[in-house]
């Protein structure tokens, strides 16, 4: 089977979307031919091969309107035709990944079997007209029923929508010796509390930062680590906080952490099955997160994770302390979470998509 993945931005291999799509493409490529087509980005080659997957970046260097519309839609259409001609093949499946419905409209220009995957909510909402137009796509996948209901309200037919989870590479994110990693990175004797990702307000990093003072009033053996892709502000509290922006082996830091704290205000600009959540679960690190409907659909409070009230730094601090002070609870959470996260393993998710692909082409 020949499969084309269309992706808005594919480059920085620290970004969760890049990681999960590349892992999925690699798994599918064991028995199929997978190409990735993305928009041209400064600093990245127009054509490269990574892990055996051909990656093409297309479009004009001019970003302003109306050239941006060409880059988002028509550049992909021409790229598919050129690749089919160059490799003397035809794509069985065109699979588009995006947060907004506007880039998904490029699917309407193809006669091939078409799938749209919404991995996250868009930063800015789009017109209902754009969503309704996607009823011409064969299948639309989302990660949660909460997201499915949202799309139905936007005018997409229920029978078009299927639930397929986001994937995680459990060969990369796996349990390791926490104490050995703490010695390696200079945190011996500390309880390591990790946040990693972006500084976007919706990620809740400000809430966590405010919670630090509440936690250290009662626990002096903790060290908070913020592993950030970019830092745009100054942070104090150097005695209890380390801010890291350089490249690190994030899988080792996640496995080292006693707690991974994800204080989301919402899942806007975050995968509906957040990668950080799944990665921590796969590494057997306790997760403290917030009471969001999407998260309640995939994990249970006090069963696989500990949930705090949204946008409440005092409650977040209380939950962090409660978990730190209850060894039996920590053990129960990580074991339950590890069993649960197997449902998101990339090998299973690839099979889920293959079932959809095969049903469409037969």
pLDDT (0 to 100) of residue 230: 84
Radius of gyration of the chain measured on its C-alpha atoms:
21
pLDDT (0 to 100) of residue 61: 75
How far apart, in whole angstroms, are the C-alpha atoms of residue 5 and residue 106?
12
**Are 106 and 114 contacting, i.e. CB atoms less than 8 angstroms apart?**
no
Q: Where does the chain hold its CATH 3.40.50.2000 domain(s)? A: 2-167+345-361, 178-343
pLDDT (0 to 100) of residue 128: 87
Q: Write out the CATH class of domain 2-167+345-361.
A: alpha beta
CATH topology for 178-343? Rossmann fold (3.40.50)
The angle subtended at Cα 250 by Cα 40 and Cα 294, nearest 5°, is 80
pLDDT (0 to 100) of residue 303: 97
pTM of the model as a whole: 0.92
pLDDT (0 to 100) of residue 78: 95
pLDDT (0 to 100) of residue 65: 65
Q: Tens-digit pLDDT profile for the chain (362 aa)?
A: 999 999 987 766 557 778 899 999 999 999 999 999 999 888 888 899 888 899 999 988 776 766 688 888 999 999 999 999 999 999 999 999 999 999 999 999 999 999 999 999 887 777 789 999 999 999 999 999 999 999 999 999 999 999 999 999 999 999 999 999 999 999 999 999 999 999 989 999 999 999 999 999 999 999 999 999 888 888 988 899 999 999 899 999 999 999 999 999 999 888 999 999 999 999 999 999 999 999 999 999 999 999 999 999 999 999 999 999 999 999 999 999 999 999 999 999 999 999 999 999 98
β-strand pairing of 93-98 with 139-142: unpaired
Q: Which parts of the chain are beta strand (E)?
A: 2-7, 33-39, 47-50, 53-58, 93-98, 113-118, 139-142, 161-163, 191-197, 222-228, 241-244, 259-262, 286-290, 306-308
pLDDT (0 to 100) of residue 12: 60
pLDDT (0 to 100) of residue 153: 96
Instruction: Quote the tokens at residue 106.
Output: 């490029």
The angle subtended at Cα 9 by Cα 5 and Cα 14, nearest 5°, is 105
Coil, helix or strand at residue 196: strand
pLDDT (0 to 100) of residue 171: 94
């Amino acid at each position: 089977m020949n499969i084309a993945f269309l992706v808005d931005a594919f480059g920085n291999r620290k970004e969760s979307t890049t990681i999960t799509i590349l892992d999925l493409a690699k798994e599918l490529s064991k028995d199929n031919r997978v190409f990735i087509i993305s928009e041209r980005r400064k600093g990245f080659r127009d054509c490269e091969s990574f892990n055996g997957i051909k990656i093409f970046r297309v479009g004009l260097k001019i970003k302003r309107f109306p050239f941006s519309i060409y880059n988002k839609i028509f550049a992909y259409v021409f790229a598919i035709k050129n690749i089919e001609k160059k490799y003397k093949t035809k794509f069985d499946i065109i699979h588009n990944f995006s947060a907004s419905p506007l880039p998904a409209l490029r699917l309407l220009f193809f006669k091939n079997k078409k799938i749209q995957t919404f991995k996250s909510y868009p930063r800015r909402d789009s017109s209902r007209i754009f969503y309704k137009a996607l009823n011409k796509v064969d299948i639309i996948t989302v990660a949660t029923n909460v997201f499915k209901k949202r799309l139905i309200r936007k005018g997409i037919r229920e029978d078009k929508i299927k639930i397929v989870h986001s994937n995680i590479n459990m060969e990369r994110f796996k349990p390791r010796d926490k104490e050995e990693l703490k010695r390696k990175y200079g945190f011996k004797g500390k309880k390591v509390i990790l946040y990693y990702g972006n500084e976007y307000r919706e990620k809740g990093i400000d809430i966590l930062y405010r919670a630090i003072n509440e936690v250290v009033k009662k626990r002096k053996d903790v060290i908070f680590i913020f592993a950030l892709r970019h830092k745009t502000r100054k942070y104090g509290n150097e005695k209890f906080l380390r801010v890291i922006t350089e490249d690190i082996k994030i899988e080792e830091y996640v496995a080292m952490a006693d707690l991974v704290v994800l204080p989301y205000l919402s899942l806007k600009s975050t995968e509906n099955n957040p990668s950080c959540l799944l990665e921590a679960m796969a590494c057997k690190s306790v997760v403290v997160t917030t009471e969001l409907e999407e998260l309640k659909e995939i994990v249970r409070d006090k069963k696989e994770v500990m949930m705090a009230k949204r946008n409440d730094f005092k409650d977040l601090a209380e939950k962090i302390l409660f978990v730190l002070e209850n060894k039996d609870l920590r053990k129960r959470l990580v074991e339950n979470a590890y069993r649960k996260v197997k449902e998101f393993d990339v090998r299973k998710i690839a099979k889920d998509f293959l079932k959809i692909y095969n049903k469409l082409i037969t």
